[in-house]
């Protein structure tokens, strides 16, 4: 396992919101206990769980002095993360999902990279795992020299908005607290009005303040694909708040984020495509919303072709428009 730079002087805070995740806590606890980086704290925010999640978290905290648990009425993942952010003591923070797992060197590698390269955020690769995934015996990792440095704010934003390789979530990113504190609304950085794509909304805000980012392709984080999670819930009006991402993207400083403007529009196009597919495969009907989403999609589509860092999407641009229309037209009436 890896040793860390600077003798692990810096405290890292893990903020973990939890709601009815009892079946997955064993894997999470093993992930935490096996971390090779030792100077960390864990802030659990139990968001009004109705199963044994709360009691299991309390038991884990009693057995481990680096763990604190806070219980609140159900208010959503954004509220829980804001609560955790207001309570942390670390110099760095990472937001982990309670149904996932991570490599023992997860924090060590991210910390080494953020310190070595004087970055504001360190990012690692991730892998999708099935719902029945259980915490494995990870193979030891050799130090990687494949880090990619981004030291231009416009470049960082382009990379993020093109989705790959940064990934839209918060869980594979270690953030420097001094950078996050530059944001006026700190610690309330997660929108309480957004119920779909809140990670993307937060990251667009946070990364807009980052002067340097470092990425390593090592897959240190395991993202569990399970039904019933916030990411995979059935479609309803809450999903329409994904459009809040587009409203925020339009506020990016055009004098700083020059190339990123195209990527902001391309991201908006992708968000509308996601909504179209969710709309088409659900029982939810809202003719006004359907027409608005489809109109937004058509307006943003040209930008997708200009976003050269999104080759996968560009390749299918000629097919997207007719397929999207055929899928959504029955929702117009």
For 243-293, the DSSP string reads GHHHHHHTTS-TTT-STHHHHHHHHHHHHHHHHHHHHHTSS---HHHHHHH
* Mean pLDDT along residues 127-145: 81
* Mean pLDDT along residues 28-51: 97
pLDDT tens sequence across 150-208: 999 999 999 998 877 788 899 999 999 999 999 999 999 999 988 888 998 999 999 99
pTM of the predicted structure, to 2 decimals: 0.89
Residue 306's nearest CA partner among 271, 253, 265 is 265
Question: Residue 31 in contact with residue 221, Cβ under 8 Å?
Answer: no
Q: Identify the pLDDT of residue 103.
A: 95
Q: Identify the pLDDT of residue 228.
A: 56
Q: Length of the chain, please?
A: 333
pLDDT tens sequence across 86-135: 999 999 999 999 999 999 999 999 999 999 999 999 999 998 889 888 88
Residue 307, burial from CB neighbour count under 10 angstroms (0-12, 13-18, 19+): buried
Phi, psi (deg, nearest 5) at residue 58:
-65, -40
The encoded tokens of residue 118 equal 């004087």
The encoded tokens of residue 248 equal 């925020």
CA atoms within 13 A on the CB side of 76: 15
pLDDT tens sequence across 187-199: 999 999 888 889 9
The encoded tokens of residue 52 equal 């044994």
The encoded tokens of residue 36 equal 């090779």
Q: Identify the pLDDT of residue 229.
A: 55
Number of CB atoms found within 10 A of residue 144's CB: 13
Which residue do the tokens 């829980």 mark?
80
Q: Which residue has the higher pLDDT, 227 or 283?
A: 283
Phi, psi (deg, nearest 5) at residue 164:
-100, 140
Q: Where are the alpha helices (DSSP H) in the chain?
A: 25-33, 53-63, 77-87, 106-116, 153-161, 177-180, 198-207, 244-249, 260-280, 287-306, 311-315, 317-328
pLDDT at residue 3 greater than cutoff 60:
no
Percentage of the chain exceeding pLDDT 90: 56
Sort strands 40-47 and 12-18 into parallel, antiparallel or unpaired: parallel
């Amino acid at each position: 396992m890896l040793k860390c730079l600077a003798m692990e002087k810096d405290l890292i805070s893990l903020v973990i919101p939890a709601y009815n995740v009892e079946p997955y806590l064993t894997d999470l606890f093993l992930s935490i206990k096996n971390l090779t980086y030792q100077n960390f704290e864990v802030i659990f925010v139990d968001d009004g769980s109705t199963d044994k999640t709360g009691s299991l978290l309390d038991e884990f905290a009693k057995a481990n002095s680096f763990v604190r648990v806070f219980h609140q009425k159900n208010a959503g993942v954004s509220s829980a993360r804001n609560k955790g952010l207001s309570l942390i003591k670390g110099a760095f923070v990472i937001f982990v999902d309670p149904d996932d797992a991570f490599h023992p060197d997860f924090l060590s590698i991210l910390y080494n990279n953020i310190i070595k390269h004087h970055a504001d955020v360190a990012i690692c690769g991730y892998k999708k795992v099935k719902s029945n995934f259980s915490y494995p015996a990870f193979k030891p990792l050799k130090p990687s020299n494949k880090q990619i440095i981004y030291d231009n704010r416009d470049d960082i934003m382009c990379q993020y908005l093109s989705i790959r390789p940064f990934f839209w979530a918060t869980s594979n990113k270690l953030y420097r607290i001094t950078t996050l504190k530059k944001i006026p609304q700190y610690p309330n950085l997660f929108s309480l009005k957004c119920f779909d794509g809140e990670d993307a909304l937060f990251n667009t805000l946070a990364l807009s303040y980052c002067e340097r980012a470092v990425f390593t392709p090592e897959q240190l984080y395991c993202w569990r694909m399970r039904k019933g999670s916030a990411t995979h819930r059935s479609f309803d009006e809450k999903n329409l708040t994904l459009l809040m991402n587009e409203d925020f993207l339009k506020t990016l400083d055009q004098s700083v984020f020059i190339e990123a403007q195209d990527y902001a529009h391309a991201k908006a196009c992708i968000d509308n495509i996601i909504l179209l597919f969710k709309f088409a495969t659900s029982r939810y009907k809202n003719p006004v919303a359907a027409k608005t989403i489809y109109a937004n999609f058509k307006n943003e589509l040209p930008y997708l072709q200009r976003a050269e860092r999104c080759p996968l999407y560009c390749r299918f641009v000629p097919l997207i428009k007719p397929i999207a229309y055929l899928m959504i037209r029955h929702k117009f009436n």
